[in-house]
Chains A and B, each alone.
Chain A
Amino acid sequence: DIQMTQSPSSLSASVGDRVTITCRASQSIIIYLNWYQQKPGKAPKLLIYAASSLQSGVPSRFSGSGSGTDFTLTISSLQPEDFATYYCQQSYSTSRSFGQGTQVDIK
């Protein structure tokens, strides 16, 4: 199994802050890395696919980078609606796996 490790597990930030979340895979997954946002009581929402491609309809303040084992999700200017939990997920192996999540809350 490929293990996905996110850091930090949680962070507090203010509106307008730049936020960076990292995700590390236990082996190379090339760029088969997706990022999701989840709000309480809702299904995860796809933000970024193939490490750096922005899903249609997602604001451009979200961006992704990385390849191999190390990836980042950046929110350039945090907005009130961005307070949520973020998960990375690999689709390199037949057995898909998610990171443990990063909760972003209001400072």
Chain B
Amino acid sequence: QITLKESGPTLVKPTQTLTLTCTFSGFSLSTNGVGVGWIRQPPGKAPEWLALIYWDDDKGFSPSLKSRLAITKDTSKNQVVLTMTNMDPVDTATYFCAHRFFSGNSDYFDYWGQGTLVTVSS
């Protein structure tokens, strides 16, 4: 049974750095092909992919946000941490983490956390 859960602040001030933790169970982030991604969704808008970390510690970032993002993993704790610097009110969104499955021509997010709403306001 794969589960993921996001945790972190619900309110951050403009210019602050956001740190979110994804704690997961039911899989290992050291297994070949596995990854954990972060996706956010502003209220009433479509999901936006942010970042992905792979089993081999390779990483991918949204080109438009790359300069503000960092992603790390702690395999022993089954956690992935996302940091986003210089937060702005437009970054207000629900932030999700998700399990990435890969095999051949199949590459998708099959398990998602419940999401955590982060509001950016002074």
Contact = CB atoms under 8 A, between A and B. Distances in A.
B105 A1 contact: no
A38 B45 CA distance: 12
B106 A87 contact: no
A81 B60 CA distance: 35
> Interface range on chain B: under 10, 10 to 19, 20 to 34, or 35 or more?
20 to 34
Contacts of B113: 43
Given A1-B63, A43-B115, A98 B46 contact: yes
Nearest to B48: A98
- A34, A36, A91, A99, most chain B CB atoms within 10 A: A91
B49 A95 contact: yes
A21 to B, nearest CB: 14
Q: Is the interface of B mostly helix, strand, loop or mixed?
A: strand
B49 A96 contact: yes
B80 to A, nearest CB: 16
Interface string A40-77: 00011110011001010000000000000000000000
13 contacts: A32-B107, A36-B47, A43-B96, A43-B112, A43-B113, A43-B115, A45-B112, A46-B109, A87-B46, A91-B108, A95-B49, A95-B62, A99-B46
Given A44-B109, A46-B110, A50-B106, 4 more contacts: A1-B64, A49-B106, A50-B105, A94-B60
Interface of A: 1, 30-32, 34, 36, 38, 43-46, 49-50, 53, 55, 87, 89, 91, 94-101
